[in-house]
A and B are shown apart, each in its own frame.
Chain A
Amino acid sequence: MAADAHKLEIFRGLIKFKSNTQKIWGVLIFLSIVTAIEVVLGIYKPEVFNGHFIGLKVLNWIFIILTLVKAYYITWDFMHMRDETASLRRMVVWTGVFLIAYLIFILLQEGEYVGSVFTNGFVKNDF
């Protein structure tokens, strides 16, 4: 694979790097910034984000979205998914996305139900 085969744009072409090496460092800086934001939010846990949205705290949604953003850039730029054919990309990513979304939905749904049985049921669990 020739070095010029890499796609050197990130953020939909907002930033265009001159070489692959430069892009790697650029992505590292971006990932570090995102991690730093996560850590600061994790330490201080601002009260602003204490509200709930679809069963989760807003702060937790922020963490999950930032994680997915990080996962995207690790896969696309470090694992060179950006340079693969669209069919390979879809084969790997959508298979994962569908199965993972299904598994998460089914387990969390069930977990919440079992939890509500513990809380509202007639079995004492704190004694």
Chain B
Amino acid sequence: MKSISILLLLIGLSFITEAQNRYFTRTGYIKFFSTSAVENIEAHNRQVTSFLDIKTGEMVFAVLMKSFEFEKALMQEHFNENYVESDKFPKSTFKGNITNLAEINFAKDGNYEAIVSGDLTIHGVTKPIKSKGTITVKAGNIIAKTVFPVTVADHDIKIPSLVRDNIAKVVEVSVDMTYEKFEK
């Protein structure tokens, strides 16, 4: 009977610790930037949802494509209508892991270098990516930042020849997340 109680306790504990491992945000920030000889295009999304499990190092992101804001309304319309086809593919997602988890001490404030690899899905096409970033632990929050390139053609996003000079083939994606402890 004792062992059963211990088991039960363990089960209970495992659930509790799992909940404590989790961090999340709904107001994460992602920017993408395209530079070309003709013009620079950038778009901002401040409504990114993400979860982070500090025990397993698992990270997941969901980005609503329609929440990207451009400086020109027509760019935004073309982005949604013609390029990423937001009605067909409303969300982009990332699912991956921090691969150097051992080097990051989430219990102690500080800056840590983090390497994240996983699968990025944009426009319905999934590609493996790997990116180096920083994780800052500060007063119970976790701030994660990274910059990585995305090749537009990799995700089957077609750019017509007429505007080929205006849009970069590789766009720079910047991620800036401030995670809080997740409680149900």
Chain B binds chain A = no
Interface residues, chain B, with chain A CB atoms under 8 Å away: none
Interface residues, chain A, with chain B CB atoms under 8 Å away: none
